[in-house]
Amino acid sequence: MKRKGISPLIAAVLLIAFTMAVASIFAQWAPQLMEDAQGDTTERANEIQDCSDRTLEVDADLDNAQATITQTGGTEPIGNLTATFYYDDGSSPTQKTTRINDSSRGVTSLTINNPSTLREIQVQPTECQGAPAASWEPE
């Protein structure tokens, strides 16, 4: 029994035609995809650069059980912050959130739960991801 199939020449022509059809579809779609990705990346890089100028200082008044967080750099407010309090008494670290916005004039305060055993305060910006973290330890 003789089997019939398509000739290698016709198979090659069909393969090339199919490849060209897929390439033409991709050629119309890819530039827009690249522009979108490039635009998003550029915007994100600019946002991180803007945030990297915003710096924080942390100070603690153990007598009054208050931690003061001050934004010392940047012109725009840094936004939401998470402060983590570490204690020497073996208790779990506690986290508190606060916000530095236009109305706070770059300063915010938090109450320290147990100032006598406070070992360290770490403050991390949560909205402004390029901004550096800050910390405080007793002298």
Going along the chain from its start, the domains and CATH numbers come out as: 53-136 (2.60.40.10)
CA gap 130, 90 in Å, rounded: 32
pLDDT exceeds 80 at position 69: yes
Q: Is the Cβ–Cβ distance between 100 and 107 less than 8 Å?
A: yes
Q: What pLDDT is recorded for position 15? A: 94
Q: Which residues contact 58 (CB under 8 A, 6 or more apart)?
A: 67, 68, 69, 70, 83, 121, 123, 134, 135, 136
pLDDT digits (tens, 9 = 90+) for 116-137: 999 999 999 988 877 889 999 9
pLDDT digits (tens, 9 = 90+) for 72-124: 888 888 888 999 999 998 888 999 998 887 766 788 899 998 899 999 999 99
Q: What pLDDT is recorded for position 100? A: 84
pLDDT digits (tens, 9 = 90+) for 12-34: 999 999 999 999 888 888 888 77
Q: What pLDDT is recorded for position 101? A: 78
Q: What pLDDT is recorded for position 77? A: 86
Q: Is the Cβ–Cβ distance between 20 and 31 less than 8 Å?
A: no
pTM: 0.66
